[in-house]
Chains A and B, each alone.
Chain A
Amino acid sequence: MDRLNAYARLFRLSFAANLAAAMEYRVNFLVQVFGMILNNCAFIVFWKVLFRRAGNLGGYGFRDVMFLWAITAVAFGISHVVFGNVRNLSVLIKQGDLDVYLLQPKDVLFNAMTSRTIVSAWGDMCFGLVLFGFLRPEASAWMGFLFFSATGTLVLSATFVLGESLTLFVDGSEGLSQSVAEMILSFSLYPEKVFPEGMRWIFYSILPSGFIVFLPLAFWRAPSVGIAAWVTLAAAGYGFGAWLLFSAGLRRYESGNRISARS
């Protein structure tokens, strides 16, 4: 329990320090947050126009796609707000910048991930919450949304870590990590049924968009304990798997012999 409290304290302190650093440049913070909201709004226009012209897409309506966007935006936002280094791990590894975290008494992965925040991700998070609000959900739907946003954050972050950890095993795999990140985001933002049936297994394995958004959407349409249980199990599994792979790879890590400070 003490250990858990210590990690909670580290998380809280890191978050506060990152937020203070981000707010140091307030205009920049606001520009990035509102810029990202605007960026995402452009896609709402696209979907609105497309649904007006096409009627429906593979049985999905406008509200369904907006749900996908809302939950992905919140999961992506939280992931980058609290684990800001989650997509920067390969750079830290390549440059030998993990030394500073190895010398500290907390878990390297947790410590490294929480030591940074991505300012524009605040915009994604706000956008997702406001967008879901526009769908006029009931209180119970909000509970489900927040629950699946949390599981989605875990699965998304774990997938990023899995991709980034490849750098510990294969030199020059940053491009692959980047592609994994782009693919999981792209597939999570579009309705599952528009993709060929033969490739949908990918969404429940290598690129787990199924656990991030498709199963939560199924739950939103018809709530079921089974779906919630599967998603919870998957989130725990992907989270543990990512930590395991990173920890295994850490044994192969080579120091950069650089003098650096925890950012």
Chain B
Amino acid sequence: MSFSARIVPEARKYAAAARVAMLDRWRYPAELVGPCVTLGLFVFVFSCIWTSAFVGKATISGYTRQACTWYFVFAEICYFCSSGAFASLSQDIKDGQVAYTLARPYHLVLATWAQRLGIGLSLAPILFAVGYAIASSVAGPWIPDSMLRGGAVLVSFVLSISLHVLLQACMALVAFWFEENSAFLWIFAKITLVAGTLMPLEFLPASWQEVLLWFPFPWLVWAPAKLAVVPDLDLAMAGFLLGGQMAWLLLSLALAAGVFHLAVRHATVHGG
């Protein structure tokens, strides 16, 4: 059987999983209210903070007030759209629900990735609308000034969710060994928050930036948010940011698959 003959049905399977997750999310529109209110609140609070921080200053670390406001919107949307994978997978492992998933004809890690990507993509338009309404009223509208920027932001957004989900899956799979694995997520989430979510990476001291770029944290939200607001985006910059995300995505996919391979040996199914 040729490579494509094997890959296409597999890809269809995971695309179906993503589509079902997306439709499921839209089936309960009331559940979208919570994330929208929270995102709207955060964007409003941070737009106020940036307004105060930029009094008497045109730029801080190369970012204008408008850029910072929009940076925050994109960073938060990436974060909101990809959170939750850890909690659901971790819970499934702890309560044994994972036994059903393991028995199905798909790979747990890839299925989780597809489902969370579906959820993220279904959330993104509505969160973007909320963020856009608030941010454009205080910082002016965001309009992609080139095809390169628009395309790069979209690709980067998908890479961001994928990378975030796979890293969360790695941490969730630790539940096969440790009952209490939430500490891993907390540490991970807090470093991510500081390394490019609450503020651009460039705000941090130079030595911190150099170190952090060797870790996956900035590639989760800093890359897509920077692509959205950096002035004069060129191919080299887009290539660097997307390339970094892609490299980390492949690494995290290999890591997640490896952890799953080891973890599944610890699965104990009691029936029922």
Contact residues of A with B, CB < 8 Å? 27-28, 31-32, 34-35, 38-39, 41-43, 45-46, 49-50, 53-54, 57-58, 172, 175, 178-179, 182-183, 186-187, 190-191, 193-196
Contact = CB atoms under 8 A, between A and B. Distances in A.
A186 B41 contact: yes
A182 B182 CA distance: 22
A190 B44 CA distance: 12
Contacts of A53: 53, 60-61, 203
Top 8 A-B pairs, shortest CB-CB distance:
A42-B190, A54-B53, A35-B186, A194-B52, A57-B52, A58-B52, A194-B48, A31-B183
Interface in B170-229: 180, 182-183, 186-187, 189-191, 193-194, 198-199, 203-205
Given A46-B194, A178-B34, A195 B199 contact: no
Interface SS of B by simple majority: helix
A71 B48 CA distance: 22
A53 B56 CA distance: 12
8 contacts: A31-B183, A34-B183, A41-B190, A45-B194, A50-B49, A50-B203, A53-B53, A54-B57
A186 B38 CA distance: 10
Contacts of A179: 34, 37, 41
Contacts of A39: 186, 189-190
B53 A57 contact: yes
B33 interface: yes
Contact of A31 (B54, B182, B199, B204): B182
Interface in B45-89: 45, 48-49, 51-54, 57, 60-61
B5 interface: no
Interface of B: 30, 33-34, 37-38, 41-42, 45, 48-49, 51-54, 57, 60-61, 180, 182-183, 186-187, 189-191, 193-194, 198-199, 203-205
Contacts, number: 77
Contacts of B61: 53
B98 to A, nearest CB: 21
A185 B48 CA distance: 16
Interface SS of A by simple majority: helix
A58 B54 CA distance: 10
Contacts of B194: 42, 45-46
Nearest to B183: A31
A183 B41 contact: yes
A187 B57 contact: no
Nearest to A25: B180
A186 B45 CA distance: 8
A114 to B, nearest CB: 26
A54 B60 contact: yes
B6 to A, nearest CB: 43
Given A54-B60, A179-B37, A38 B190 contact: yes
Contact of A46 (B37, B187, B198, B205): B198
Contacts of B51: 194
Contacts of A58: 52
Most buried by B among A53, A58, A186: A53
Nearest to A60: B52
A221 to B, nearest CB: 18
A32 to B, nearest CB: 8
A90 B191 CA distance: 33
A182 B44 CA distance: 13
A238 to B, nearest CB: 21
A182 B37 contact: yes
A45 to B, nearest CB: 5
A195 B53 contact: no
Given A49-B199, A190-B45, A194-B52, A38 B187 contact: yes
